Amino acid sequence: MRILLINHYAGSVYHGMEFRPYYMAREWVKRGNEVTILAADFSHLRKKNPDIKTDFTEENIDGITYLWVKTPSYHGNGVGRALNIAAFYFKLKAHAKQIAQKYKPEAVIASSTYPFDSYVAKKIADLSGGRFYFEIHDLWPLTQIEIYGLKTSNPYVRMLQKAEDFSFKNAKKVISILPHAYIHMEERGVSRDKFTYVPNGVIPAEIETNTNLCSQAETLSKLRQEGYFIAAYTGNHASANALENFIGAAALLKDEKVKFVLVGSGNEKERLIKLAKEKSPDNVIFLDPVAKKDMGQLLSNVDAAYMGLSKCRLFHYGVSPNKLFDYMLAARPIIYAVDSSNNPVEEAQCGVSAPDGTPQSIAEAVRKLMSATEEEREEMGRRGREYVLKNNDYAVLAEKFLDALR
């Protein structure tokens, strides 16, 4: 099958986030499909952006054809990003016929966070005689309404709603990382028969531990040797991850033999460091980010891994956090402080849930895991790993996605 995946922010293991398009495409190529990824050359998510000189530049990455579209760079989430999105969209629209003629896609997937790309994806599909599919990562415009407080009467929100409705109506199938996104579809008058759930996934080989410990893993190893229980968070230090509640739990357990560790970086890190000094300076530790290849050895020196998200009505449609699946793959017991319609930790029985996300409930979850035997914690971790290998291996997910395309 010839597949064209349009994802504005698509990255790769060589560029950084977003990884899902790359992992899916790599598996599709292994199965004999021809895959082209259409992506902007500049994304704020990537650690490294490609250096291209012309509007459309091809690059072969592990058998995948990347077609990079030249767009203006930007900082933050304001006018610059809007101009970047507009440049990407209008260049695709202007060259839709040439793209259809050259790549002749049988399946065209609109997969950017925002739904505007669906107009171009449908046009390319029609010109090539292919089928149009819509992949949902975030629910727009609901995200703009719930997170940023925009009104339904806002012209931008109305444009987004029109594009989403167009996508739902015209797509052969709607694929989503959110397990209950079909509820939103039905609220928009679309049958759930169109819906296929394909969550985020893992690559088992990427969590394998190195023989030499990185400095962060060495720090945790020494603390465990001293008898400390390690409750850790790894990843971006952003407001969405409810890390102030994690630190609040540390303050409640400051007299216990436990260390709360935050590994990573982000725009909230300095504020969180200040908060920790005020609330619980002796049992909260901040460590620098680790390379992806070192994440396995880091997590192997953790007794419990924290997964938290700030409350949001959008979670009524479910969540699919990459971080959670990485924790499961590493066979770590998990503290799941997320109020969502799905609960993989409960399904896998691989940790303790604290759905209200308060410092008190997080502290209680830590106490439960501290009181469990090492064998019981290892069994939780084993169940989590078995669950994620069965349900979230990209080799499995790619086949499920292909079934929807067929």
In the prediction, which pLDDT does 206 show? 72
Give which of 360, 334, 357 is closest to 347, Cα–Cα: 334
Query: Amino acid letter at 284?
Result: V
Rg of the chain's alpha carbons, rounded to an integer?
22
Distance (Å, whole) CA 195 – CA 134: 10
- Reply yes or no on whether the pLDDT at 114 is more than 70: yes
Segment 219-257, tens digit of pLDDT? 999 999 999 999 999 999 999 999 999 999 999 999 999
Cα of 201 vs its chain's centroid, Å: 9
The CATH number corresponding to 2-197 among 3.40.50.2000, 2.120.10.30, 2.40.10.10, 1.10.3720.10 equals 3.40.50.2000
The 10 Å Cβ neighbour count of residue 2 is 15
In the prediction, which pLDDT does 380 show? 98
* Residue 249, CA atoms < 13 Å, CB-side half-sphere: 28
- Reply yes or no on whether the pLDDT at 211 is more than 80: no
Look at phi and psi of residue 227 and say left if phi exceeds 0, alpha if psi is from -120 to 50, else beta.
left
**Mean of the per-residue pLDDT values of the chain:** 96
- Reply yes or no on whether the pLDDT at 210 is more than 70: no
Distance (Å, whole) CA 63 – CA 65: 7
- Reply yes or no on whether the pLDDT at 336 is more than 90: yes
Cα 7 to Cα 17, 85, 88, 155, 349: the distances in Å are 12, 11, 10, 24, 34
Give which of 126, 229, 220 is closest to 171, Cα–Cα: 126
Share of the chain above pLDDT 70, in %: 99
Q: Are 130 and 96 in contact (CB under 8 A)?
A: no
- Reply yes or no on whether the pLDDT at 294 is more than 80: yes
In the prediction, which pLDDT does 209 show? 57
Distance (Å, whole) CA 357 – CA 368: 15
Domain boundaries, the chain: 2-197, 204-391
The backbone torsions φ and ψ at residue 178, rounded to the nearest 5 degrees and listed phi first, read: -95, 120
Distance (Å, whole) CA 62 – CA 242: 37
Query: Amino acid letter at 112?
Result: S
- Reply yes or no on whether the pLDDT at 212 is more than 80: no
Model confidence pTM above 0.85 = yes
- Reply yes or no on whether the pLDDT at 33 is more than 60: yes
Instruction: Over range 390-394, report the average pLDDT.
Output: 97
Helices 96-103 and 117-128: crossing angle, nearest 10°? 50
Helices 374-391 and 322-329: crossing angle, nearest 10°? 120
Task: Label each residue of 180-224 as H, E or C.
Answer: CHHHHHHHCCCCHHHEEECCCCECHHHHCCCCCCCHHHHHHHHHH
Give which of 134, 197, 138, 143 is closest to 166, Cα–Cα: 134
CATH of domain 204-391: 3.40.50.2000
Q: Are 331 and 267 in contact (CB under 8 A)?
A: no
Segment 126-160, tens digit of pLDDT? 999 999 999 999 999 999 999 889 999 999 999 99
The backbone torsions φ and ψ at residue 198, rounded to the nearest 5 degrees and listed phi first, read: -130, 100
Is-cis flag, bond preceding 18, omega within 30?
yes
Two domains, one topology: 2-197 and 204-391? yes
Q: Rounded to 5 degrees, what angle do the CA atoms 217, 221, 224 make?
A: 140
Q: Please list, in sequence order, all residues whose beta carbon lies within 8 angstroms of the beta carbon of residue 89, skipping any fewer than 6 positions away.
A: 116, 117, 120
Distance (Å, whole) CA 339 – CA 346: 12
In the prediction, which pLDDT does 208 show? 61
